[in-house]
Amino acid sequence: MKLVAITSCPTGIAHTYMAAEALQMAAKELGYEIKVETQGSVGAENVITNDDLREARAVIIAADTNVDKSRFVGLPLIEVPVKDAIKDSKALIKRALDTKVSENLSSKVNKIKAEEKESRTGIYKHLMTGVSFMLPFVVAGGLLIALGFAFGGIYVYNSPNSIGGAIFWTGKASFALMIPALAGYIAYSIADRPGLVPGMVGGFLAQNVAGYEFLNTKVSSFLGAIIAGFIAGYIVLFLKKYIKLPKSMEGLIPILVLPLLSTLIVGLIMLFIVGGPVAYVNDSLAWWLNGLKGTNAALLGIILGLMMAFDLGGPVNKAAYTFATATLVAGKLSTIMAATMVAGMVPPLGIALATVIAKKKFTDAERESGKAAWALGLSFISEGAIPFAAADPLRVIPSVMAGGAVAGGLSMAFGCGLAVPHGGIWVLAIPNVVSNLLPYVVALVAGTVVTAIILSIIKKPVA
């Protein structure tokens, strides 16, 4: 019987490895096999693989830091402070083996997403890691800005000492951190902890170089942050490989040498090489988008709708969503963001409606999951459709893509605009958040109905 575990303490030096050793010794005494991944100051070591997870009976996380648990979805898991593993590892192992796991629609979604995440490799893996850490900043910032306008009116940014102004500027602060977070966690994915500092500094410079007049350049923002993240990550890997110090001074490498040298190099590259050219590309893209009107705008909406529904939270979906969030400017409405959100709501809503109007074509479990899909769809969580798509991709994916294209195209054709990056139907009642509200709802209903009708026709009855 095999278990897997992760140990991690705040400093990543002593207790991380003491806990790992204690778990290994306890498992050996009890007659079990265990693999312990240590997440220390130099990064993750003895990393748990897909093969380990397939063989694992349970998971133990002994950590005082935040540990990503997405890869362990579907496995019994316990999480305790690192000192508990040092003090009584045998009890932890027995407790983990006694833990049960139950599965509903949300857990099915998380399990499939975890499997997809584990299958990512190379540049795609690093980019998706950065995007996943960036999105909470985008969502929180956008919704807080919207609430600020709701409490303080359209000129709320002129009243920072009011309740509305405080909410607005808190949202602006979250927005300001999303670009450094993107770059920082791309670098983190490549080089682990030592990549965070140069990555975030590079991301900060990507959105703030306009303030440095001697450079005569503009903000490179989103595109510049991606470049900064990859530069930072691979520079850290290079430095880790070639910098050697005496054994007594090795502890200085992750906390002093790597942050200092990598941040200096990344800063110089961003300020003197990357900033200007990428800013030009960024400005050209913005100019092209602002010029889209009529048929061209509707075509863009259709493309965004197809992308949002194609892989339901995968790389194509994330590319469309990240592209849309880059068009958001505080206090202004984005037609691209509006089309993207309405198209992303359609897949789970359309499937939920299909489970109602074509009950004989869905199992009892699928009809129960359809009830949860209503809530996920209304909340703009496209992933609510993933279990249905995984079970019958050749029928479900074309159906949701058709509905997404209809919703996105109509939204752009109607000229609907959105000021926030998330929230689904729940943010539409906030003043100044959406323009052309009624046509926007029409686009959502139309896309939902199209998906439901197509799926109800082409899906085979349950045997």
pLDDT at 263 > cutoff 80: yes
Q: What's the pLDDT tens digit per position in 380-401?
A: 888 778 778 877 888 899 999 9
Identify the pLDDT of residue 409: 93
Q: Which residues on neighbouring strands pair with residue 189, listed in sequence order? A: none
Identify the pLDDT of residue 312: 79
Considering 55-69, 141-155, 400-414, the range whose residues carry the highest mean pLDDT is 400-414
How far apart are the C-alpha atoms of 260 and 255, rounded to whole Å?
9
Q: What is the mean pLDDT of residues 342-371?
A: 88
Q: What's the pLDDT tens digit per position in 180-208?
A: 998 999 999 898 888 999 999 998 888 76
Q: What's the pLDDT tens digit per position in 407-450?
A: 999 999 998 998 888 778 888 877 778 888 999 999 999 999 99
Do residues 126 and 230 touch, judged by C-beta distance below 8 A? Answer: yes
CA 172 to chain centre: 19
Rounded to 5 degrees, what are φ and ψ at 356?
A: -90, -45
Query: Cα angle vertex 228, ends 231, 232, to 5°?
Result: 40
Identify the pLDDT of residue 370: 84
Q: What is the mean pLDDT of residues 102-124?
A: 61
Q: Which residue has the higher pLDDT, 8 or 283?
A: 8
pLDDT at 239 > cutoff 80: yes
**DSSP assignments along 28-82, one per residue:** HHHT-EEEEEEEETTEEES---HHHHHHEEEEEEEESS----GGGTTS-EEEE-H
Nearest to 349 by CA among 425, 435, 452: 452
How far apart are the C-alpha atoms of 244 and 253, rounded to whole Å?
8
Q: What's the pLDDT tens digit per position in 203-226?
A: 888 876 543 443 443 444 677 888
pLDDT at 358 > cutoff 80: yes
Identify the pLDDT of residue 285: 62
- State the sign of the Cα–Cα–Cα–Cα dihedral 322, 323, 329, 332: negative
Q: Which residue has the higher pLDDT, 248 or 4?
A: 4
Identify the pLDDT of residue 211: 39
Average pLDDT, the chain: 82
The owner of tokens 């995440």 is 117
β pairing state of 434-435 and 417-418: antiparallel
How far apart are the C-alpha atoms of 337 and 38, rounded to whole Å?
40
Considering 91-100, 133-142, 153-162, 316-325, the range whose residues carry the highest mean pLDDT is 91-100
62 CB-near residues (< 8 Å, 6+ apart):
5, 6, 7, 8, 19, 23, 80, 81, 82, 84, 85, 92
Say whether pTM exceeds 0.85: no
Q: What is the mean pLDDT of residues 123-152?
A: 79
Tell me whether residue 9 is one of the annotated catalytic residues.
yes
Identify the pLDDT of residue 217: 39
pLDDT at 282 > cutoff 70: no
Identify the pLDDT of residue 212: 45
Identify the pLDDT of residue 24: 93
CA 171 to chain centre: 18
Q: Which residue has the higher pLDDT, 85 or 278?
A: 85
pLDDT bracket for residue 106 (50, 70, 90): low
Of 3, 5, 6, 9, the catalytic one is: 9
Do residues 397 and 347 touch, judged by C-beta distance below 8 A? Answer: no
Identify the pLDDT of residue 114: 61
Q: Which domains does the chain have, with CATH numbers?
A: 2-101 (3.40.50.2300), 123-285 (no CATH), 294-458 (no CATH)
Give the single-character DSSP code of 389: H
Identify the pLDDT of residue 208: 67
pLDDT at 292 > cutoff 70: no
Q: What is the mean pLDDT of residues 71-82?
A: 84
Q: What's the pLDDT tens digit per position in 2-33?
A: 899 999 887 777 788 889 999 999 999 999 99
What percentage of the chain reaches a pLDDT higher than 70? Answer: 86
Q: Can you state the percent helix, strand and coil of the chain, rounding each to 5? A: 70, 10, 20
Q: What is the mean pLDDT of residues 121-139?
A: 79
* DSSP 3-state of 346: helix
Do residues 395 and 455 touch, judged by C-beta distance below 8 A? Answer: yes
Identify the pLDDT of residue 210: 41
How far apart are the C-alpha atoms of 398 and 438, rounded to whole Å?
27
Do residues 168 and 152 touch, judged by C-beta distance below 8 A? Answer: yes
Give the single-character DSSP code of 431: T
How far apart are the C-alpha atoms of 312 and 258, rounded to whole Å?
38
Considering 66-70, 297-301, 390-394, 396-400, the range whose residues carry the highest mean pLDDT is 396-400
Do residues 44 and 35 touch, judged by C-beta distance below 8 A? Answer: no
pLDDT at 158 > cutoff 80: no
